[in-house]
Amino acid sequence: MKLSRSTARSPYMEFAKLRSAAKYNLAASGVMSYPLAELPVHMQDLEINGQTIYGYAPLQESLARKNQVSPDCVVAAAGTSMANHLAMAATFEPGDEVLIEEPTYELLLSAAKYLGAEIRRFPRRFEEGFRINPEEVARQITSRTRLVVITNLHNPSSAFTDEATLTAVGDIAHRVGARVLVDEVYLEAMFDQPTRSAFHLGSHFLATNSLTKAYGLSGLRCGWILAEPELSERIYPGAYCGTAKRACPE
Ligand SMILES: Cc1ncc(COP(=O)(O)O)c(C=O)c1O
């Protein structure tokens, strides 16, 4: 069913914000916030805003270093939520197909619906440990699919998807001219092993992340998208005003 924007709702978010008051709440995916006052830094060290809404070069450069990418591949955003919204808005048009894992984080689904996507799903099965089976992706993708959406770690199961599987999904998407959006907000919660963004697997991947989960710094709303330079430029024209591409406008 196609929803108009005024009627697009997110049942999960409405529940999570307004009605999820149980003592042990298994239906929400939040982590406890780390109090900013306990960070051993000064307020000015936490500056993440520039003169314009189009990004702050020191932040983008820090994020680029952290992710080992070129700064013009970074688009800063207000949390992974806004990053996902911007990433979707830039990668498909209303009426295009978007293929989303099932189950998933409900906001990915409602953001895609809000932006007018025709939604298709591919299953991640309980009996298979919620792993991604690329054959299921291949079965559900069509020539009209513009974006494949997955979470890594998987929300709700926290299953990890390795690079070989991500590459296989990327190849399937690439063959029909689709991109793969990987929401990596939980990836760095793999504290016992180093992780690398799916963005490194090819220019048809884009990844979103923030300091919300692994760092517990939700209040900073420090999120980002990693996307190939042409796409990041399309998301926030002129976002990166560092030395790599162009001079900063006065
Ligand atoms: C998969 C996933 N993506 C994004 C978010 C939202 O993250 P942020 O606080 O960075 O907007 C959540 C929060 O629960 C999530 O589970």
SS (H, E, C) the chain: CCCCHHHCCCHHHHHHHHCCCCCCCCCCCCCCCCCHHHCCCCHHHHCCCCCCCCCCHHHHHHHHHHHCCCHHHEEEEEHHHHHHHHHHHHHCCCCCEEEEEECCCHHHHHHHHHCCCEEEEEECCHHHCCCCCHHHHHHHCCCCEEEEEEECCCCCCCCCCCHHHHHHHHHHHHHCCCEEEEECCCHHHCCCCCCCCHHHHCCCEEEEEECCCCCCCHHHCEEEEECCHHHHHHHCCCCCCCCCCCCCCC
Confidence (pLDDT) at 243 = 42
From the CA of 16, give the closest atom in ligand 1. Answer: 14
Pocket test for ligand 1, best of 63, 80, 210 (most atoms within 8 A of CB): 80
Confidence (pLDDT) at 140 = 98
Q: For residue 202, what are the contacts with CB-CB under 8 A and spacing of at least 6?
A: 167, 170, 174
Confidence (pLDDT) at 241 = 57
Confidence (pLDDT) at 246 = 43
Q: Could you check whether the bond before residue 59 is cis, i.e. omega within 30 degrees of 0?
A: no
Confidence (pLDDT) at 101 = 98
From the CA of 186, give the closest atom in ligand 1. Answer: 1
Nearest in space to 225 (alpha carbons), one of 83, 71, 29, 25? 83
What are the residue boundaries of the structural domains of the chain, listed by start? 80-227
Nearest in space to 214 (alpha carbons), one of 111, 66, 88, 106? 66
Q: How far is CA 27 from the centre of its chain?
A: 20
Q: Could you check whether the bond before residue 249 is cis, i.e. omega within 30 degrees of 0?
A: no
Query: Measured between alpha carbons, how far is 18 from 37 in angstroms, rounded to an integer?
Result: 27
Q: Measuring from each residue's beta carbon to the nearest atom of ligand 1, which residues come in under 6 Å?
A: 29-30, 79-81, 105, 151, 155, 183, 185, 210, 212, 218, 223
Chunked in runs of 10, what are the mean pLDDT values of the chain (250 residues)? 67 79 77 84 83 76 95 93 97 97 96 96 98 98 98 96 98 98 96 94 98 91 95 80 43
Query: 53 to each of 57, 72, 123, 201, 246, how far by Cα in Å?
Result: 11, 16, 38, 29, 17
Confidence (pLDDT) at 52 = 63
The CATH fold of domain 80-227: Aspartate Aminotransferase; domain 2 (3.40.640)
Confidence (pLDDT) at 1 = 56
From the CA of 209, give the closest atom in ligand 1. Answer: 10
Confidence (pLDDT) at 69 = 96
- 186 CA to middle of ligand 1, Å? 8
